[in-house]
A and B are shown apart, each in its own frame.
Chain A
């Protein structure tokens, strides 16, 4: 018997198969230098107040700024998060793909343009730069039936998976 490839069970997300209305639906030009300011901020806060403070701020971003996405996750609509990923990774011209099935959604970022832009701007990216993703994701999933796992696959690459808690 042939093994079933996991890939076959997923649908690749494209612009036409995620019909969700985003709370923050930015358009126009993109100012990538803001990622440099995020990097500076992460270094400043961690050096002065410690990593727990930085993580608390990311937690507020996940809980408060992204309240709308979180509310959708609580109600079981995890496609809103996929739409958010799709919209903003497209805007930032990242190399990524999103796979979706009934149980989970997987975002694979092969080339994170935010990370690459900071490396170009300042040379050394903060070792905590990706905490903005890890900690904000954790807060988004907290007190919902879902978990979001963020795996760093290397420089400027990660996999983010949202699935129902076991």
Chain B
């Protein structure tokens, strides 16, 4: 690599980096997960399916990727965005080479897992997408970078550009911005829902097609199941880590029920890997935006992520978690506890007999401990001491389980009784969301549907 590259314009690079990372910080999808790729001689980098966080910023959020905007110039005027065209801020852009050099140098030092490249819309969507493509091409083809790349698709860019970029990236995402079309219309007048969903669909279809692709672009052949002795060298895959999206929570008046319904349909219909929720932070002070005197709605964001986990890993459906009648989360109880309390007829559950999916629905039992229970009970009959060793949170689960037909204590299976005991145990919220009281103190009179504790 060229050593004098940065020396004469060090300052300008540092300045650009500071402006363009500052402008990118509200993007939440900083994960490097979803694809396992070994290193290759002659190139730099590999990827790990679980993802790695290399640092944690002062707000406690993980830094996994070099998260920057290519440019903070933008032709659009979305009311919630720090880079909206009517805002008076310093505008600057990187060149593809600058981004590629920074990525490689950071990557060599194990600062980052790869690149997260987004951009404001410069001139027009196609021009911007071309710049992003060029950066990725430089990294992949000339610098032989084999690490993780997450790139934003620019809504409105040409299909061909999106496709070309998809073959170079690990993950591609298009921001849904706001949960509903009405919200988008009111706050982002230059964007429309169709333009956002179209490339999403395109990526989904492209990803499915690349599973079957063997020869040229036009010829689609179903890959034979592993019957060949020698598998031919794999062709480049299209967006192997899948696509994600993010939406802003609390800028528009949607209910939690609407939001998780949207998330569920994105998982089902668009085969998304992740939906990210970002608590709204009022940076532009636009008159049409809500003011949030209590700070960003972090508890609500936390509850949405909890529900999201239930959708993805616990076999729940959105309609089980919330409903038209109780459209918002309970502030006091996590969504799973809440569900269990309104389905007491299913409990208690015999730990030594219940099937895996039933175990997953018990508060205090997670994916890991459910798996361990299933493995351990092959050779032993489990009692409460064993469950504790396997990582089950007994103080939550004792109301819902039996071991060899016995409950741990004589407990009434009655909603009021359990709630009273549950509320005594402090829920472990991440620092900053609840317990520490920095932003949001949990209170009985919170604004998020706490009127009836039990739905």
A and B form one complex: no
Binding site for A on B (CB under 8 A): none
